[in-house]
Structure 1
Amino acid sequence: MPDGITSPSQRRPQPQALTLVLPPSGGEGDLRAFVRTLRMGWRWLLAGWLGGLALAMAGLWTVTPAYTAAMVIGPTARVGSAAMGARVPTLSGRDSAGVAEPGAGDESLSDFARYLELFGSGPVAERLARDPDILRALFPDRWDAEEGRWRPPPGLLPMLKRGLLALVGREDWVEPDGDRVTRALRERLVVDMLRSGPMRRITFRHADRATAVDLLGRIAAATDAHLRAEAARRSAAQIAHIKLRLGAVTVAEHRQALSDLLLDQERVAMMIGVDLPFAADLIQPPTAGALPDWPNPAVVVPLAGLVGLVAAAFGLSARQALKDQGIGVEAVP
């Protein structure tokens, strides 16, 4: 065929690709055609919006509302009228600056950082798991109060879960342990920073208001008690070691240095035993609102209506795109 001459097959209109972008219709742009499609399918949009609202309200009726207990903590104060005071005394010798477990003020990992890291997890969760009241409060659906024993949770979804686990040769857990306590607390505990400062807001969610407030306070107390016990153990070990060395050293200068170290460690042990917060000061005690705040209907219902509206608009766009695709294919001889 000579150059410059177009074959009849090349003059035929090519079908549009399968896409959600509407092809121009009658000189209309994509946006105008999309708006026209939505205007023509307003009934579908209304149905999607109402359907989203209905699903949200049905979900709110099925979900158990929960209370959120909150507390504000900060690093233990060293100075001031409400402070515990420095646990590590001002040492005259440079070599004894970092002997005590709490460490000096320039340590890389502070007691407060350890407190936030261990809050409700690790050894603290193991400590909490030894309290039957805490276990029953965290897992009320697995505790049979009439028979006084742990049981698998009732319901269709837990039954399906146990069936799936049985298919692969596994079993669902029945009696909770420290690992289950860690997982449960990780799902419900939230730690937020306040105004880019050292203070933190810790929140805990539970279906019962009094239980939420009580559990949050118990978790905080258990974390502080664990760090205090660890510091006391280290200090006692160092005191015992220094006393052992004193019995074997005869050089006067060495005995004086060890005596100074022993005096410092005994001061540290005395400050650890003070009945004050060890790693974190309680700025605001655990409190919770009088009404449940999760889930929030003022947020869930409008958001569900918007999702239903968007889903209906997407369905209309896809339907129109498929319809135009079919018309384009039929138009090709």
Structure 2
Amino acid sequence: MHGLRSAVSGDRVDVLSLEGVARDIVVRWYLLPLGAVLGFAAGLIHLSIAEPKYTATVTLAPVLQEGSSGSRLEGLGRLGSLGSLAGLGGAFGRSGMEFRKFFEVAKSRTLADRLVANKPLATRLFHQEWDQSAARWRPPDGFVPAVKGWLANSFGIDALAWQPPDGSRMQQLLRRRLAIVEDPDSPFIRLNFEGRDRDLSLQLLLTIVDQTDSLLRHAALDRSSKRIAFIEAQIPFQPSSDLQKAFATELAEQQRTRIFAASAAPFAAEPLTPATVSSRPTWPIPLISLGVGTGLGLMLAAIAAAWLGARRRRVPEPLAANS
């Protein structure tokens, strides 16, 4: 019993000391390169089995709906100092507000419903769930979907039950894969979409930009048309010339908005340059995969060395007092 140290008495327990752990790792140093090699190999395996993803990107600028080109340049200068979507309203007036709305609508359920209604696009995006011969949606194949289906059927977990692609699922996909990138030093906003299919990612990004702008355009047309009808009905009943002049000014503004929205030009946002897609996968990143794998291998090897050392030094339970 002379070699036994009591943790209750406050004495240092060598098994748990940092000095003892470090000594165990040094003594079993050969486990570290073994762990690094195994971790590096795990990183290589991850790179070989991970499905590559490509990133499509487009940089957007607000579309000027009022004033001259000179006022637009002035607005861009002010916006550059503001450095976020929050400053767009002040820098561009109504144009800035439509630009802000653009990025809200881009991830909205309304846009998602439009995208999933585009059957050629939706069937490519959810190709694992589309039965081409039967022309209908079906549960995807694979181990994970099968387990989810079994859990849903056996335990009534509705959240795991398969549902055909709809607006809700499309919106979830947009929230995961569509990124809005703001630069504090630039008045422009970048949209990134990450997908497994290089061509489809670019096509979907272009469709998102086009359909989002279309939604805002039609909303502005409907809004201005209703306001024009209201103003035209109210002008004859205004008691003073000042009120009639104010109504006439607003009428002209609404008519100009309707004309602008009815044109074929971009309404809320326009690309500065054509959209592009990465020529090589942006995920997985080889350096990260190999680095993380090697680091985890080293960490696990160090833990194994410390555990083996602690196990070797473990003292058996004290015998009875009469022994």
| TM-score (normalizing by structure 2) | 0.79
1:242 aligns with 2:228: no
Please point out which of 112, 116, 126 is paired with 2:103. 116
1:302 aligns with 2:291: yes
1:22–1:321 Cα contact (<8 Å) kept = no
Describe the shift of the 1:276–1:146 C-alpha distance in structure 2 as closer, same or farther (beyond 3 A).
same
1:119 and 1:222 mapped to 2: Cα distance?
Answer: 9
1:302 and 1:115 mapped to 2: Cα distance?
Answer: 39
Note the C-alpha offset of 1:132: 0.8
**3-state SS of the aligned residue for 1:213?**
helix
1:58 aligns with 2:41: no
1:227–1:278 Cα contact (<8 Å) kept = yes
Q: Deviations over 1:134-163 (max 9, x none)?
A: 211221111122221111010011100111
2:103 and 2:264 mapped to 1: Cα distance?
Answer: 20
Amino acid at match of 2:138: R
**3-state SS of the aligned residue for 2:52?**
coil
Counting only pairs closer than 5 Å after superposition, residues 55-94 of structure 1 correspond to structure 2 as 55-77=42-64, 79-80=68-69
Please point out which of 122, 136, 149 is paired with 1:149. 136
Describe the shift of the 1:61–1:150 C-alpha distance in structure 2 as closer, same or farther (beyond 3 A).
same
Amino acid at match of 2:315: I
Describe the shift of the 1:214–1:45 C-alpha distance in structure 2 as closer, same or farther (beyond 3 A).
same
**3-state SS of the aligned residue for 2:267?**
coil
Counting only pairs closer than 5 Å after superposition, residues 96-115 of structure 1 correspond to structure 2 as 105=92, 110-115=97-102
Note the C-alpha offset of 1:124: 1.4
Amino acid at match of 1:273: A
Larger Rg computed on CA atoms: 1
1:184 and 1:258 mapped to 2: Cα distance?
Answer: 45
Note the C-alpha offset of 1:249: 4.9
Note the C-alpha offset of 1:237: 0.9
Structure 1: unaligned runs, 5 residues or longer: 1-8, 87-101
Note the C-alpha offset of 1:61: 2.6
Q: Deviations over 1:178-220 (max 9, x none)?
A: 1110011111112222244332222111222111111111111
1:35 and 1:104 mapped to 2: Cα distance?
Answer: 60
**3-state SS of the aligned residue for 1:147?**
coil
Corresponding position of 2:79: none
1:165 aligns with 2:152: yes
Amino acid at match of 2:143: L
Please point out which of 221, 224, 246 is paired with 2:210. 221
2:112 and 2:257 mapped to 1: Cα distance?
Answer: 27
Please point out which of 189, 193, 200 is paired with 1:204. 193
Describe the shift of the 1:196–1:319 C-alpha distance in structure 2 as closer, same or farther (beyond 3 A).
farther
1:259 and 1:195 mapped to 2: Cα distance?
Answer: 40
2:318 and 2:36 mapped to 1: Cα distance?
Answer: 34
- Number of matched pairs: 300
Amino acid at match of 2:193: F
Q: Which has the larger displacement, 58-67 or 216-225?
A: 58-67
Aligned-residue identity in percent: 27
2:91 and 2:238 mapped to 1: Cα distance?
Answer: 28
2:248 and 2:91 mapped to 1: Cα distance?
Answer: 20
Corresponding position of 1:125: 112
Please point out which of 5, 14, 32 is paired with 2:5. 14
Corresponding position of 2:315: 327
Amino acid at match of 1:138: L
Note the C-alpha offset of 1:16: 4.5
Describe the shift of the 1:254–1:203 C-alpha distance in structure 2 as closer, same or farther (beyond 3 A).
closer
Corresponding position of 1:6: none
1:66–1:205 Cα contact (<8 Å) kept = yes
Q: Deviations over 1:6-49 (max 9, x none)?
A: xxx9x9863348xxx98399xxx945x44432232233223322
1:137 and 1:209 mapped to 2: Cα distance?
Answer: 12
**3-state SS of the aligned residue for 2:282?**
coil
Please point out which of 9, 23, 29 is paired with 2:14. 23
**3-state SS of the aligned residue for 2:69?**
coil
2:202 and 2:22 mapped to 1: Cα distance?
Answer: 52
Amino acid at match of 1:209: R
Amino acid at match of 1:221: D
Note the C-alpha offset of 1:239: 0.5
Describe the shift of the 1:200–1:167 C-alpha distance in structure 2 as closer, same or farther (beyond 3 A).
same
